Amino acid sequence: MEIINYKDINLSSMKSAIIQGTKSSVYINDNECYKILDGLYNDEKKQLLKKFYDMDGIDIENILFPKKIILDNEMLVGYTMDYFPQSINLNDYFTKNRFIDINDIFVATKKVSKILRKAHENRIILQDFSFDNILIDDNKNIKICDIDGCFYNEIKGPCISMIMHHYCNIFPDDYFILNENFDNQSLLLSMLCIIYHKMILKINDYDTLSDKINTLKSIRTIVSSLLKNSKTKVPYLDEIINDNDHFIIDRNKQVSFKKRLMRDYSIY
């Protein structure tokens, strides 16, 4: 893996990316993104550097792996990855318009699930994994970013996704295992969150749409179990998504009148 000296980089000459990490700063330089890990402790950086070396050589289509690592006196500062132009994360993509066909959400989720399979085949658990770090461009191409947050060769990432953090809080006495099922649970919960415009914590909330959409109807038993038992086995979603499902979601009907009024007022 190629190494760049941090002192040789001029970040001020680069454009700050619209999408920023929770513990990092991201810059764009031509066809490369520079991710500076300014929110990690030194021991976390040491572990991440080892993980990057261990992962060197793994190449999975549609996952943005590190291309070059940035060091300062042998300490990891950040890394570069390919720039994915004209892209936003799936959460923003599926909430920017009032009306959305649920089929678009299912098609995107199915693509993500197939990429996830490839990661698991290479013993990578994405761990910090949700629609926040899955990117989509204008042509509906999809790439997974923030691979530094993965679990590989017994080295964990520094955090889990916000959606899994909320889910884990439902079962405070349970011990969660970082494995393939953890990622599948995260993807399912992320998909449901974007469909319903909120995190589904009660089966009654799920049932507001489940009878109208074949995919949701077919996985109701899984969702019901997941809300009661953190060990629920969730299959890869590309196995269970119905390609023929269509249903138009009206985002305004999913937002309270008060919140909608505040949102619309903020535009002016």
Q: pLDDT tens digit string along 54-73?
A: 999 999 999 999 999 999 99
Cα dihedral sign, 62-165-254-248? positive
d(CA 233, CA 229): 9
> Would you give the DSSP letter of residue 202?
S
d(CA 268, CA 266): 6
Taking alpha carbons only, the member of 32, 15, 12, 34 closest to residue 24 is 34
Helix (H, G, I), strand (E, B) or coil at 9: coil
**Helix or strand run (H / E) with residue 184:** helix 180-196
Instruction: Enter the pTM of the model.
Output: 0.91
Phi-psi region for residue 146, left (φ > 0), alpha (ψ -120 to 50) or beta?
left
Q: pLDDT tens digit string along 241-251?
A: 999 999 999 99
